[in-house]
Structure 1
C-alpha cells in the first residue's frame, strides 16, 4: 500500500511539473479589484501589456471593484491555483481591509505572493472652490465650517479613509468621509465639487492639479514628488509629526499555485517593469518601481507582514471600527 501511495504521489508531481512547464497555454486573467480610472488600473494595464512578450500569451485585465477591493480579491482567493487568475493587490486589499471588513478568505494564508512592484504616496487635494491654498488654511477652514465638508474615500479601510481619520484626530476638525468604489468615481465627484477634498494617488490627481481644477496641499512622502515639486510634504505643510504613507502594489496568485508558475509570472512581471515604456509611464504617474532585488515573492510577503504590524495598531488608535 505504501509503495502504491508513493507511486501515486510521484505520478502527481510529474504531471504537475509537466503542466507547469507548458504554462501558460491560454490567456491569463489579471483581476484589478477597483474600477477603471484609478491608480490600480493605471498600474495594471501597462503591466499586463508588458508581460505578454515573456509569457507568450495575452494578460487580460478584469476590473472587479466593490467592497473596498474585497470582491475582486475574494474572486482570486477562491480561484483555481493554476496561474490563470491572478490579482493586482495593494495596501488596501492586503493590509487595512482584513482589519476592518469581515472576509471569507485570509489575506496572508490564501494568496501566493508573486512580485513587489510599485510604491506611491498620496496627495491631499481640494476642489478649487475651497478658499484655501495650504494645509494650514484648510484646517482653519474646516474648523470654521464643522460638518460641512466632505472627503472622498476608496472604501472602508482604504488609505484615504485612514488618513481622513488621522487628519480629524490630529487637527480636531469635523468633516464627512464618503466611501466610493474606487479613485475614478472620487475624482469625478471632486472635479464636480460634489465633495470638497480627498487623498488621491498622483496617477489620478496630477493631471487635474496641473489644469487647476483641483489643488494639491500636501504629499504623504518623505520627499517632494518629481512630477509636482511645488507640492510640500505633509510634514512641510504642517501636519503634526508628519504623515508618511506609501500605497504599494504587488501581484498575487491563489495559494497552492505551483512554484514553477509563480516563477514564470515573476519573471514576466520583472521584464515588464524593466521596459523603458513602463518605467517612463510609471514615472509620469508619480509611481516608484521597487528595486529589482526586491521584486520577489519573499519581499512582497515580508512587506505585507511589516505593514500589518505597523498599521493595525494605528487603525486601533485612530478608533476606526470594523464594519
Structure 2
C-alpha cells in the first residue's frame, strides 16, 4: 500500500463505519482516566498533539484524559513503560514512528519489540523536518550546501543537535554531512526544544528537527531554516527550499506520530479508541492547532499503521548501514 497524505486522509469503509457508530456504541465510557504517554518534553510537537487529543478523548473515550511526559533514552523509556501496563485502555502510547522502525537497526538489544509489545491504533499526524542554523553561523550562510562548506572550513562549528540519538532528524543531519563530505558531530537531546535553546545560545551550530519545533523560534530573528526534508515544500515554511531543490539527492523524509495500546488489547477496545481519535483528528480546532506546530493531522486504521511500520522498518535498514551509526542497547 502506498502511504501518502491523500490516502491517509481518506476514510476507508471500515473506519467510516467505526466513526459512525463510535459515539453511539461507546457512549458509556467505562474508563475513568486515560493517560497518554509521550517520551518527549513538554512544549514540543509530540507533547502538543498529546494534549490536544487528551482534550477530545476526555468525556468520550474516557471520563478524563491526561498527558504524562516520560522522557529519556530517546523515547525508549516511554515505550517500555507502556509495554508493561495492562492492556485495559487506560494507558496510551504516542510516539514518533522512528523509535519503532529505526531503533531495531541501531540497538543490539531493545527493551521492547515494536511488533510484539504494542497494539497499533492510529496515526495522528505527519510532519517534515527542517535543518536550521543559529547565531554562531554567519548570516551569509543561506543554504544547506553553504552550511556544509562553512562547516568543512570551520571544524569547530561542524556540529548539529537533534531530538534524540538514532532519531530520523539525527540521520538526516548525518546524511547531509556525508553528502557534503564533512563529518558533522551530533548532539542528542531529550526533545527538540532543549536543542533549540542551545542553538539560540550559540552552543551548537545547527539543529535538525520537526519543522514546527523550529518555526516557532523564527520570530526571535536568531534562527534560519536552510532546508526542509519533504518531497515538496512544506506548507508551514513555504519559502524554504527542500533538500532536493538544493541538489541533495535521496533526502525526502517525513515522519508520523502514532498511537498505540499495550500488546493484546482487545479488538473492541482498539476500535473504540480508533473511532474516538478519528473523530478528534477531523475537528477543525485540532487541525488548526496542530498546524501551528507544523503538524498535518490525519488518522488511519490499525491495519494501515501496522503496514506502515513494516514498510518503514525495511526502508531504514540500508540507511542506518550507510551512516554506520550504532548505539549501546
TM over 0.5: yes
Residue 229 of structure 2 is aligned to residue 224 of structure 1: no
Matches within 5 A, 1:1-323: 23-101=29-107, 102-131=109-138, 132-239=141-248, 241-290=249-298, 295-323=300-328
Mark the runs of 5 or more structure 1 residues left unpaired by the alignment: 1-19
User: How far apart are the structure 1 equivalents of 2:105 and 2:63?
Assistant: 36
Question: What's the RMSD between the two structures over aligned residues?
Answer: 1.7
User: How far apart are the structure 2 equivalents of 1:244 and 1:127?
Assistant: 23
- What is the TM-score of this pair, normalised by structure 1? 0.88
Structure having the larger proportion of residues in helix = 1
1:53 is displaced (CA, Å) by 3.8
**Higher radius of gyration, 1 or 2:** 1
Superposed CA offset, 1:3-59 (max 9, x none): xxxxxxxxxxxxxxxxx9965331101101111122211221111112224224111
Superposed CA offset, 1:122-144 (max 9, x none): 00000034111111210110110
Residues 103, 322 of structure 1: alpha-carbon distance in 2 compared, 3 angstrom cutoff:
same
Instruction: Report what 1:17 is aligned to.
Output: none
For the Cα contact (< 8 Å) 1:69–1:92, is it kept in 2? Answer: no
For the Cα contact (< 8 Å) 1:128–1:212, is it kept in 2? Answer: no
- What is the TM-score of this pair, normalised by structure 2? 0.87
Superposed CA offset, 1:142-163 (max 9, x none): 1101253321122221112211
User: How far apart are the structure 1 equivalents of 2:323 and 2:252?
Assistant: 16
User: How far apart are the structure 2 equivalents of 1:222 and 1:273?
Assistant: 24
Residues 254, 115 of structure 1: alpha-carbon distance in 2 compared, 3 angstrom cutoff:
same
Superposed CA offset, 1:234-282 (max 9, x none): 111232x141111211100001111111111111111110111001112
User: How far apart are the structure 1 equivalents of 2:236 and 2:327?
Assistant: 36
User: How far apart are the structure 2 equivalents of 1:289 and 1:26?
Assistant: 26
User: How far apart are the structure 2 equivalents of 1:104 and 1:23?
Assistant: 32
User: How far apart are the structure 1 equivalents of 2:228 and 2:88?
Assistant: 40
For the Cα contact (< 8 Å) 1:147–1:174, is it kept in 2? Answer: no
Q: Secondary structure at the match of 1:27?
A: strand
Report how many residues are paired: 300
Instruction: Report what 2:11 is aligned to.
Output: none
User: How far apart are the structure 1 equivalents of 2:276 and 2:261?
Assistant: 14
Q: Secondary structure at the match of 1:217?
A: strand
